[in-house]
Amino acid sequence: MINSPFFTQFLKVSNLFTLAAIILLVLALGFMKVLKDKRTSFSKRMIIALVIGLGLGIALDLVGSSNQIFIDHARTEITVWYGLIGTGFLKLVQLLAIPVVFLSIIKVVVDVQGDRIKSLTGRTFVTLLGTTAISSVIGIFVVKLFNLQGVSFAADLTAAKADRMTQVAAQSFPEFFLNLIPSNIIQVMGDNGSIVSVVIIAAMFASAIRFLKVKKPDQVAPFVTLLESLKVTVNSVLTNVIKLMPYGVVALVSNTIIANGIQSILGMLGFIAALYTGVILMMLVYVVILIGVGANPVTFYKKAFTTLLFAFSSRSSVGTLPYTLKTLEGEMGVSGETANFVGTLGTSIGMNGCAGVFPAMLGTLIAGAVGTEMNFSFFVLVVVVVTVGSIGIAGVPGTATVAATVTLNGLGFGHTISSIGAIFGIDPIIDMGRTMLNVCGSMVSAIVVDKWDGTFNREAYNAPMKASSDEE
């Protein structure tokens, strides 16, 4: 190991473990480039990227976890270098989240005819919150199924996370929602954690445009044209970013394993297994829902696969949003209005993983640990608190922390927040499954709402997947 500050602090390559990890990452990315040059399909490259990322992360941790240099220095250095590719790619996607949300909501509200916007809003809320209520029931069920005990996961939170959760817990229910109302348009547009506020601003602008198109069409027409041009431009930028997705997935997945370590994952295996069981059960519920609206669930999961894989790897519902909208409208026959409206709101309302299964599990675990009577009334309370609390939870990494805090505070367990650190210690591992469920739920909801509205294109849904030259 080289102890020079140039290598340890600036270059972040002070030992052979780090150097070898960087070389392996470069080789992995080079292999992905070869597959692209050979015109391997985008979906296959995504699967291969996931497998390589898992293999690379596990291999590096197995080799280095018994070495003190790896534990003390290499793990941090490798995380920084892998984050350059993985987190760097994710930032590029998140860069587009605010403009996509803003322009999508404006387009929906402006284009929707007559009073359909009222029915679209009502049906969207019913569907998103309805699936969240179901997911919270599943969260309670898996805790009981695996017989998890809250005391098994007790540990202290980091100071930063405890402070954040305490601030949220200190807010009353009205205060929490008051904070969603924007007061500074520039500040809101610069924060991916303010998606609900962006939706509110976009709805206000869109309502004004609808009014002015009737009263002053000539004056508002240039602004409408500008917005349409912006949307086309943003979509073009998005297409170029999506081409980098397989490379980002390799680094994101491997970095998640390296940063947390296999031992920390094994120590929380019971909770991880329970949560992923909940994810699988909820995805089976989607099968029933899709069959109920006459949509083939096999077709859905086939066409949604790449989007869900990206959500799993990126751990960001907002970051996945541009690709979610593209899949809904381009592959699944969902009308543009419904796709943009439901898909966008689904990143901050009714997220079935982060704001459904997970907080319901935590609420049930904590209740058992403090000796609360587990009767039917309590379970109903959990479902209600989780469902209502899921409104306005922005879909960025770490969202589940806020959702869990709101739920625990709503159940009267706010004082337990500082002693559940063990669960949040493996948050990146479980966040992958939660985010995938969030995105899957919003896509299913979009299909349900579109079918409910009578605008669902069944022929486009059943048609073979398009071979996109943009992605290839």
Phi and psi for 15 in degrees, rounded to 5?
-155, 170
Q: List, in sequence order, every residue forming a beta bridge with 349; answer none if it has no partner.
A: 391
CB 143 within 8 A of CB 364: yes
Distances (CA, A) of 317 to 253, 405, 440: 16, 19, 10
The single-letter DSSP state of residue 465 is P
* Among candidate residues 423, 424, 445, the one with its CA nearest the CA of residue 132: 445
Whole-angstrom Cα distance, residue 335 to residue 343? 11
pLDDT of the chain along its 472 residues, tens only? 788 888 888 989 989 999 999 999 999 999 999 999 999 988 789 889 989 999 999 999 999 888 899 988 899 999 999 999 988 888 887 788 788 888 888 887 887 776 778 888 899 999 999 999 999 999 999 999 998 876 666 555 555 655 655 565 556 667 767 777 888 888 888 776 677 788 889 889 998 998 998 899 999 999 999 998 998 898 788 778 888 889 998 998 898 889 878 877 777 788 899 999 999 999 999 999 999 999 999 999 999 999 999 899 888 887 788 889 889 998 999 998 899 889 988 888 888 998 899 989 988 888 887 777 888 888 999 998 888 878 766 655 556 777 777 787 778 776 666 666 667 767 788 888 999 999 999 999 999 999 999 999 999 999 988 755 444 4
CATH superfamily of 97-245+261-462: Sodium:dicarboxylate symporter (1.10.3860.10)
Residue 291, both tokens: 């069959």
Whole-angstrom Cα distance, residue 359 to residue 450? 29
pLDDT (0 to 100) of residue 410? 78
pLDDT (0 to 100) of residue 331? 92
Say whether 420 sits in a helix, a strand or coil.
strand
pLDDT (0 to 100) of residue 469? 42
Q: What pTM was estimated for this model as a whole?
A: 0.81
CB 437 within 8 A of CB 282: yes
* Among candidate residues 196, 124, 201, 102, the one with its CA nearest the CA of residue 399: 196
Whole-angstrom Cα distance, residue 90 to residue 70? 26
Say whether 334 sits in a helix, a strand or coil.
coil
The single-letter DSSP state of residue 194 is -
Domain boundaries, the chain: 5-94, 97-245+261-462
Whole-angstrom Cα distance, residue 150 to residue 146? 12
